Amino acid sequence: MTVGRDWTVTNAYGDDPPSHAVARSVAAATDRVVVDLPPLYETIDTDALDHLFDRGARVAVSFRYAGCDVTVTGLHVVVRPDERDGSARSG
């Protein structure tokens, strides 16, 4: 996982389910722990997300979650927090 200067997080999730990588990446981008985030399943169907990429789909799925723009591809999760000045990291 890499965190850019603007707190953009890129996570090559490998064998982990994409939904797990989303939660960890958003937590890193917002300086929170995963359990402090709202449930991801309230934003997107996590089973459908994981199943889509289990089948090797060549798509990108983008959505808003916990104050961040999230894009999931077959290889990466990219998270961009709303505020680039660091205030998004304060919780």
SS (H, E, C) 41-90: HHCCCHHHHHHHHHCCCCCCEEEEECCEEEEECCCEEEEEECCCCCHHHH
What is the per-residue pLDDT for 71?
A: 95
What is the per-residue pLDDT for 6?
A: 60
What's the chain's average pLDDT?
A: 84
Contact, 77 vs 10, CB < 8 A?
yes
What is the per-residue pLDDT for 86?
A: 46
Name the residue among 76, 9, 84, 70 with its Cα closest to residue 40.
Answer: 70
pTM of the prediction?
A: 0.81
What is the per-residue pLDDT for 16?
A: 86
What is the per-residue pLDDT for 10?
A: 73
What is the per-residue pLDDT for 15?
A: 81
Residues of the chain below pLDDT 50: 84-91
